[in-house]
Amino acid sequence: MKITFIGLGIMGSRMASNLIQHGADLTVYNRSKAAIEPLVLAGAKTADTAQLAVQEADIVFSMLSTPEVVKAIFFGREGALANMKTEALWVDCTTVNPSFTAEAAAEAKLHGVDFMDAPVAGTKPHAEKAELAFFVGGRADQLEQIRPYLEQMGNKIMHAGETGKGAAFKMLVNIMLAQSMLIFSEATILGEKLGFTKDFLLNTLPNLVVSAPFTKFKAEMVRQDDYEVQFPLEWMHKDLHLAAVTAYELNQPLYLANVTKEIYAEARRKGMGRLDFAAIHRFLEEQAQSKA
């Protein structure tokens, strides 16, 4: 199989690297050329445009930032889809809203291209260690076609259902993730106001059965006040926005997630967008200090 990987950010670059390590015949493309160089040195091929990168591919993986970027690269007469082989398979790993996934599937069909959605759960360390979880939407036979490559990039594959269900399930995961970090931060900051030390709280709260397991890792970021990016806060805000759009489309109230979205929006406005999303703790601390 000839594989193309488009989108070499924090996650995509590491996913592509793992494919190379397993001997994949891989072509990579990224709008920023700096991200391409290490992968070419590792054995990947590259192309000057997305259109050229996909021409010979049997499978194209994409890991991009937003639905708008996916659309700009893949849709239309000049897009990547128009240059893919008939019956080639496009696997979009971008976190997008389900209605956009339906739009992407329809656009792929216009060009005779098969489509699957396979967003991932995990951050930079999981991508580096090939420990990502994939939430896959599409036919079972399509999943079996790409399974060997998913297993080279991750250690968990969940077939969520038909096309669009992978994106839908990832949305549920991320609204829980965003709110859990916010709840943990609020509890920690209140605990300090009640006279507990920060170290005591960061050592004990993450180990309670009521705490989300990932807070054990984020607690160390909070302790050091070091939010080196693993999953950018700005993308968490984007994902919450997409959840709000989806809830609107379904006429379903989304009370707490919408409040959470606005808090992340304010943190982003304060210049924290390129920090890890755990920096919501720093934002809440600064808010508490300003009102002291």
Q: What type of residue sits at position 221? A: M
Provide the whole-model pTM.
0.95
Give the Cα separation of 161 and 164 in Å (integer): 8
The pLDDT tens digits of the residues spanning 73-91 come to 999 999 999 999 999 999 9
- Is the domain of 18 the same as that of 152? yes
The pLDDT tens digits of the residues spanning 111-152 come to 999 999 999 999 999 999 999 999 999 999 999 999 999 999
Taking residues 220-234, report their average pLDDT: 97
Domain of residue 152, CATH code: 3.40.50.720
- Is the domain of 24 the same as that of 154? yes
Expressed as residue numbers, the domain containing 179 is 168-290
Q: What type of residue sits at position 240? A: L
- Is the domain of 136 the same as that of 192? no
* CA-to-CA separations, 59 to 53, 146, 179, 182, 218, in angstroms, rounded: 11, 8, 35, 38, 35
- Is the domain of 15 the same as that of 140? yes
Question: What's the whole-number average pLDDT of the chain?
Answer: 97
Structural domain total, the chain: 2
> What is residue 292's predicted lDDT score, i.e. its pLDDT?
66
- Is the domain of 142 the same as that of 174? no
